[in-house]
């Protein structure tokens, strides 16, 4: 009898406990597992503040459904906004800023959405709609899930100029009043927002905005700096006349 009681107790202990989520929410996508498979949270608590802690809302959980429309839209936006010129996404990109593949395991989607809609300094403000923000979150989460980034990877460290500190490099002096730049080696440079963000301008991920929708190269940038209106009539940018020794420094900063 004692043996039967122990065996029965062991069997009861291993029996799968039903999710308490269904006491308030309807069942959907039951074939994908329990509620936490897609929404995280805690399905063993009947206390809302505990059950909903770090829970992923339905609009941001489409990345768990494979190639969902929201994920496809987000991937298109990542390419359109050239996010990979600074970030590592879905196993490719740049290391100028944070590795977004890590966010799947470390950051709630709501926090990712807030970082997109209220960007940090030196990150361009793309003025995304709520729908676009949700699509970007789904694409980022899908990329991180597929890449399988591990938590132990060290975060990217970006060094910014202290308030009041004066920089004397070629970019800050000649480009900084109108442009910003995030560089792996030099950190954040520039203070202006009148012109486009030049981070990763020579990378394969930067928008092809040179004449004829071509990619930027050092030679094309030199042509542009000498006479911008010859390349793009009507532009408000004036020629940038650099001393001979300053141009290589500027190109080096833009490259890194």
Each domain of the chain, given as residue ranges in start order, spans 16-55, 60-147, 170-255
Q: What percent of the chain has pLDDT over 90?
A: 47
- Predicted local confidence at residue 5, as pLDDT: 34
Which tens digit of pLDDT belongs to each residue from 25-76?
A: 777 776 766 776 677 666 777 676 766 677 778 788 888 888 899 999 999 9
Helix (H) or strand (E) holding 182: strand 181-183
Residue 249 CA, distance from chain mean position: 29
pLDDT for 128 beyond 80: yes
Is the model's pLDDT at 7 over the cut of 60?
no
Using alpha carbons only, what angle is made at residue 201 by residues 198 and 206, rounded to the nearest 5 degrees? 105
Considering the entire predicted model, what is its pTM? 0.78
| Contacts for 51 with CB less than 8 Å, ≥ 6 apart | 20, 21, 41, 42, 43, 45
Confidence of residue 8 (pLDDT cuts 50, 70, 90): very low
Domain 60-147 shares a fold with domain 170-255: yes
pLDDT in tens, 68-126: 999 999 999 999 999 999 999 999 999 888 899 999 888 889 999 999 999 888 888 99
- How do residues 157-182 score in pLDDT, each as one tens digit? 555 555 556 677 889 999 999 999 99
Q: Is the pLDDT of residue 152 over 80?
A: no
pLDDT at 184: 80
Whole-angstrom distance, CA of residue 180 vs CA of residue 192:
6
Taking only Cα atoms into account, the Rg of the chain, rounded to an integer number of angstroms, comes to 25
Residue 245 in tokens: 């020794």
CA gap 238, 195 in Å, rounded: 12
So what's the pLDDT on residue 69?
A: 95
Spatial CB neighbours of 118, under 8 Å, sequence gap ≥ 6 = none
Q: Is the pLDDT score of 1 beyond 60?
A: no
Q: Give the CATH class of 60-147.
A: mainly alpha
Cβ-in-10-Å burial (0-12, 13-18, 19+) of 117 comes to middle
Pick from 58, 59, 63: nearest CA to 75: 63
Question: Which pair of tokens denotes residue 180?
Answer: 């910003």
Please state the rounded mean pLDDT for residues 181-192.
86
How many helices (H) and strands (E) the chain has is answered by: 11, 4
What interhelical angle do 130-147 and 109-117 show, nearest 10? 130
What is the separation of C-alpha 147 from the centre of its chain, rounded to a whole number of angstroms?
Answer: 14
Once rounded to an integer, what is the mean pLDDT over residues 135-145? Answer: 93
Instruction: Please tell me the distance from the alpha carbon of residue 134 to that of residue 131, in angstroms, as a whole number.
Output: 5
Per-residue burial over 42-74, b = 16 or more CB atoms within 10 Å of its CB, e = otherwise: bbeeeeeeebeeebbeebbbbbbeeebebbebb
In angstroms, the CA 180 to CA 177 distance is: 8
Considering the four listed CATH numbers 1.10.357.10, 3.40.30.10, 1.10.760.10, 3.90.230.10, the one that applies to the domain covering 170-255 is: 1.10.760.10
Q: What is the pLDDT of residue 166?
A: 66
- pLDDT of 223 > 70? The answer is yes
* Mean pLDDT, the chain, whole residue set: 82
**Distance (Å, whole) CA 155 – CA 148:** 16
């Amino acid at each position: 009898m004692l043996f039967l009681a122990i065996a029965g107790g062991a069997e009861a202990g291993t029996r799968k406990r039903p999710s308490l989520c269904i006491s308030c929410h309807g069942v959907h996508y039951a074939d994908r597992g329990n509620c936490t498979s897609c929404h995280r949270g805690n399905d063993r608590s009947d206390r809302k503040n505990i059950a909903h802690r770090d829970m992923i809302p339905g609009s941001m959980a489409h990345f768990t459904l494979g190639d969902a429309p929201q994920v496809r839209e987000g991937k298109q936006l990542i390419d359109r906004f050239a996010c990979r010129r600074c970030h590592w996404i879905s196993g490719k990109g740049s290391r100028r800023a944070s590795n977004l593949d890590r966010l799947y395991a470390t950051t709630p989607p709501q926090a990712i959405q807030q970082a997109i809609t209220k960007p940090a300094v030196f990150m361009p403000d793309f003025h995304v709609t709520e729908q676009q923000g949700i699509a970007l979150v789904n694409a980022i989460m899908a990329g991180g899930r597929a890449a399988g980034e591990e938590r132990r990877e060290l975060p990217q460290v970006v060094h910014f100029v202290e308030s009041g500190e004066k920089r004397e490099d070629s970019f800050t002096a000649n480009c900084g009043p109108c442009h910003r730049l995030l560089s792996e080696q030099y950190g954040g440079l520039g203070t202006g927002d009148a012109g486009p963000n030049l981070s990763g301008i020579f990378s394969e991920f930067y928008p092809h905005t040179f004449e004829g929708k071509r990619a930027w190269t050092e030679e094309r940038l030199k042509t542009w700096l000498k006479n911008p209106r010859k390349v793009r009539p009507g532009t408000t940018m004036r020629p940038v006349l650099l001393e001979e020794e300053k141009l290589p420094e500027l190109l080096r900063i833009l490259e890194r």
